[in-house]
Structure 1
Amino acid sequence: MPCITLDVQLLVQTFLYVANIVIGLAVAVPLGITLGDFNGQCILYADIHWHSYIHVSYIPSSVVNCRFSIYVSVCLCVLYGIGMTFYHVYLLTRKDPMIGSKMWVFPFIVVNSVFAFVTFISSCIISVGFKTFCDGLLKGREKGHIMESCAYGERVKWNAYKGDYRTHNFYTYLTVTQIATWSTFLVWVLLIIQGIIRFVKNRRLASALDLGNFAASEPSA
């Protein structure tokens, strides 16, 4: 049985796309659960109001702030990542030792760069929105509440206008989301670097082959 030639750089890129799928889910799922726990209201950038040292309500921000990050994670990280994983697995199973030099590179560098920029925006929305929300919770100290940290807000009784809010895990979920979203941005950067390395490597290989063909050609005169 012939041995399949393994392209290490191609294998690394495959693992990075798989990692992006997993991390993308770690962004979308906790953020989506938090959105559901607050009756479809986005707590990123929410305006907190303390009525007393034990009761708090808030004005939610636009739901777009949450849904944008969820859509970015699902579409760019998960769906695109699945497609690219299958594509790279297909390339890895090819018996052509020069398959790395024949694959498209520059278009993926451009696409991944755009996705990295969009992910950066999404990550900033999550981080800044989460901090704004936590800063509002910490203002409870002005009402005499012993608000030790933002995580302590999971124990506070909230006033809900539409049903009951499930606030017992919001800090945990948003912390996971925040770590995961910046991790996806890092993965995109690594994919861009991998693509640039592959592009330079292929250019050098093409130049070497051209020089070799020129040296091997017979003189015309």
Structure 2
Amino acid sequence: MGLGNILLLTQVIAYLVSFIVSFFIFIPIATNVKEFNGHCLLYADGTFDDTTKELKHISWGRDSACGFNIFMGVIVMLLSLFYMVWESVYLFKNIDGSWLDCFVTALVSLLVCLMLFGSSLTLSVGFNEWCGLISNEGINCELGDFVTFIEEKDINTSNFYLEMMMAQFCTWICWICWVVLSVVAVIKVYRYHQQESFTISMNRERDRLLQRAGHRQPVVM
């Protein structure tokens, strides 16, 4: 298997993993927002009642914090599906895309990689702040399902730890996939540049040899 096929196969596998993992990003977060009565727990703050040990005076996180991660999960799913099919066709036909295809793919991969990094940081830092709020009262974050809220009675906290840990883990896995995809895409663009430079050099050398051969005069006896 040539280097081109190995790069294509790597891309297809990475897109497949990214496609599968993306479902475990936006679905758990969307489910958590629904269970928390439309509130986002990322970067939330509040105080505990000393007598009842219930959380009160809650300042919920911005909706954009959860919304951005849901958006990124959906976008990654759609892009992964599109490029997985696109690159699979090239792999099946044993050909590669044009220089423009590789260049656009490299730009998209780098952009998604940067956005996923921001999304992963937003999710990790925001959830750590929530766990820090709960842990201040001596409650392990894993056992935070039993926390009750004075101001919000319609909140279901039974699965928040599992949902957020799943989304956090899968977001970083997705980011790693797109780092690999970015590296592969840049390598393919560089290979095209090398091939083009080699072709130009060969054509220049051929023209030089033809010019030298054309200036030679036949020897007359």
Deviation at 1:60, TM superposition (A): 1.3
For 1:123 and 1:35, the matched residues in 2 are separated by 17
**Alignment map for 1:11-30 (pairs within 5 Å):** 11-30=9-28
**Alignment map for 1:64-83 (pairs within 5 Å):** 64-75=64-75, 77-83=76-82
**Alignment map for 1:1-221 (pairs within 5 Å):** 7-51=5-49, 52=51, 54-57=53-56, 58-75=58-75, 77-96=76-95, 99=96, 104-141=101-138, 147=139, 149-161=140-152, 163-216=153-206, 219-220=210-211, 221=215
Deviation at 1:34, TM superposition (A): 0.7
Equivalent residue pairs, number? 207
Deviation at 1:106, TM superposition (A): 1.8
For 2:12 and 2:74, the matched residues in 1 are separated by 18
For 1:90 and 1:189, the matched residues in 2 are separated by 22
For 1:216 and 1:17, the matched residues in 2 are separated by 42
- Secondary structure of 2:101's match? coil
- The 4+ residue runs of structure 1 with deviation greater than 6 A are none
Deviation at 1:124, TM superposition (A): 1.3
- Secondary structure of 2:93's match? coil
Residues 88-140 of structure 1: CA distance to partner in whole angstroms, max 9, x if unpaired?
112112254xx256562122212211111111111111111101111111122
Name the % identity: 23
- Secondary structure of 1:54's match? coil
Q: Contact conserved, 1:48 with 1:137, CA < 8 A, in 2? A: no
For 1:174 and 1:180, the matched residues in 2 are separated by 10
Q: 1:119 to 1:49 in 2, by over 3 A?
A: same
- Secondary structure of 1:219's match? helix
For 1:192 and 1:122, the matched residues in 2 are separated by 17
- Secondary structure of 1:44's match? strand
- Secondary structure of 2:136's match? helix
The match for 2:218 is none
For 1:92 and 1:103, the matched residues in 2 are separated by 18
Deviation at 1:216, TM superposition (A): 4.9
Return 5+ residue gaps in structure 1 as ranges.
1-5, 142-146
Return 5+ residue gaps in structure 2 as ranges.
216-221
RMSD over equivalenced CA pairs, Å = 2.2
Decide which moves more: 194-203 or 45-54. 45-54
For 1:95 and 1:7, the matched residues in 2 are separated by 7
Structure with greater helix share of residues? 2
For 2:198 and 2:91, the matched residues in 1 are separated by 24
